[in-house]
């Protein structure tokens, strides 16, 4: 399916977006959802590259392929055309278990499975062949009913790591694996009641070379192979990403850290704790973070707050999060609203509820000049002009 996808801003009374409010706080322009300003370009906002009715979660891009999961199945598409390359259910996957996250690498696609909350079964990590989806190895962990966030899992070309929190939240296990063989390298247990433990919980896991970076109530660096602690930084940062030589992270504050020594280039306090992995535009020197009330934009050079946009619901990675494409911010909140915002000004471009809270979570990821969006059919909301299933879109605004 190809053509021009046209969106109009015929928002109903429950549409949460869009007024330009003249109020400012700390030189930050605040926009919230009450009325929708007219934008001439909104009628020609997106070009639909392709669309399929297969809805997926944990969408990831690697080279020319798009990966994702649907229940207990992993799928791989050609990202330029949307053609399905393969789909597979891991050989040792349990019938009632769901896939929590997919992380593709050059030689192995790492697949993290979680147990159904009603079953006493251990979590499993699989390695599948990116060429055909065949299972290469699997690792059985321990029983856990819940994971510490929507993104406690990371993979590099050599390692994978994930955090696993016990049901009563008292302890967290951190596992590292050699993805070439499936061999477990280390397991570390963090006890929240242990006064000798610096870090008490983990919300994001990153791998950089031979280092494992843990983000939670503090930032901890460990040896990825042994699990031994190398350093601890007294910063409450829960959501983070690596961008070149820098780490951008959010929690009770937003910070830019050097990737080697974790030295802050700047740190800015925020009134509302961040709730999603940040998104960065190196071209425009902008950092956008999701919070319980919307999204905030910062200058990446200085940390100065530039604008805030208030959404209908909390912005989290579980329901889409924040992505940047060609100077435009895409936000999916947990109330089911898709908001499109001008990165430079914070002005709203489009906002419409796409689904209800009872629908399956949505997901999206940006790569180059395209946005890949996956959206389930909604039983409680009328169909919008955003396609159901998985689609590739690009901005056509002038």
Note the pLDDT of residue 210: 97
Report d(CA 398, CA 396) in Å as an integer. Answer: 7
CA angle 353, 103, 293 (to 5 degrees): 30
Check pLDDT > 50 for residue 14: no
| CB of 255 closer than 8 Å to CB of 239 | no
Q: Which residues contact 239 (CB under 8 A, 6 or more apart)?
A: 149, 151, 203, 204, 215, 249, 250, 251, 274, 275, 276, 277, 278, 289, 317
Report the top-level CATH class of 1-44+270-398: mainly beta
- Higher pLDDT, residue 234 or 110: 110
Taking only the tens place, the pLDDT of each residue in 238-264 is 999 999 999 999 999 999 999 999 999
Q: What percent of the chain has pLDDT over 70?
A: 77
Check pLDDT > 80 for residue 16: no
- Higher pLDDT, residue 373 or 172: 373
Check pLDDT > 50 for residue 4: no
Residues paired with residue 251 on neighbouring β-strands, in sequence order: 237
Cα 63 from chain centroid (whole Å): 18
Report d(CA 398, CA 149) in Å as an integer. Answer: 37
28-37, 83-92, 271-280: lowest mean pLDDT where? 28-37
Query: Mean pLDDT, to the nearest integer, of 314-333?
Result: 89
Backbone angles phi and psi of 319, in degrees to 5: -120, 30
* 275: Cα within 13 Å, side-chain hemisphere: 20
> What's the mean per-residue pLDDT of the chain?
82
Characterize the bridge pairing of strands 305-310 and 28-32: parallel
* 238: Cα within 13 Å, side-chain hemisphere: 20
């Amino acid at each position: 399916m190809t053509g021009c996808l046209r969106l109009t801003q015929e928002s109903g009374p429950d549409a949460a977006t869009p007024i330009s409010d003249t109020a400012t706080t700390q030189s930050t322009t605040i926009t919230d959802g009450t009325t929708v300003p007219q934008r001439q370009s909104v009628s020609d906002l997106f070009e639909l590259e392709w669309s399929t009715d297969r809805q997926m979660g944990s969408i990831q891009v690697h080279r020319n392929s798009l990966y994702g999961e649907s229940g207990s199945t992993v799928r791989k598409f050609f990202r330029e055309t949307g053609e399905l390359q393969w789909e597979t259910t891991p050989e040792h996957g349990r019938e009632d278990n769901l896939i929590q996250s997919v992380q593709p690498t050059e030689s192995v696609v790492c697949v993290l499975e979680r147990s159904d909350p009603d079953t006493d079964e251990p979590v499993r990590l699989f390695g599948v062949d990116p060429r055909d989806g065949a299972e290469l190895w699997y690792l059985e962990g321990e029983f856990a009913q819940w994971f510490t966030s929507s993104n406690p899992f990371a993979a590099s070309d050599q390692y994978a790591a994930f955090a696993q929190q016990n049901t009563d939240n008292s302890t967290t296990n951190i596992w590292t694996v050699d993805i070439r063989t499936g061999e477990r390298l280390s397991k570390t247990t963090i006890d929240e009641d242990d006064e000798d433990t610096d870090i008490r919980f983990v919300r994001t896991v990153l791998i950089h070379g031979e280092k494992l970076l843990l983000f939670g109530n503090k930032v901890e660096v460990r040896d990825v192979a042994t699990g031994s602690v190398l350093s601890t930084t007294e910063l409450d940062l829960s959501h983070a990403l690596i961008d070149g030589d820098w780490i951008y992270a959010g929690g009770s504050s937003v910070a830019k850290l050097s990737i080697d020594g974790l030295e802050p280039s700047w740190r800015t306090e925020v009134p509302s704790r961040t709730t999603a992995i940040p998104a960065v535009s190196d071209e425009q020197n902008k950092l956008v973070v999701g919070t319980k009330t919307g999204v905030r934009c910062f200058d990446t050079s200085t940390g100065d707050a530039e604008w805030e946009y208030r959404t209908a619901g909390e912005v989290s990675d579980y329901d889409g999060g924040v992505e940047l494409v060609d100077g435009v911010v895409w936000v999916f909140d947990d109330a089911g609203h898709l908001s499109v915002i001008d990165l430079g000004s914070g002005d709203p471009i489009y906002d419409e509820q796409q689904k209800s809270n009872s629908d399956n979570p949505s997901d999206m990821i940006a790569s180059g000049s395209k946005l890949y969006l996956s959206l389930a059919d909604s039983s409680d909301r009328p169909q919008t002009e955003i396609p159901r299933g998985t689609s590739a879109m690009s901005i056509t605004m002038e």
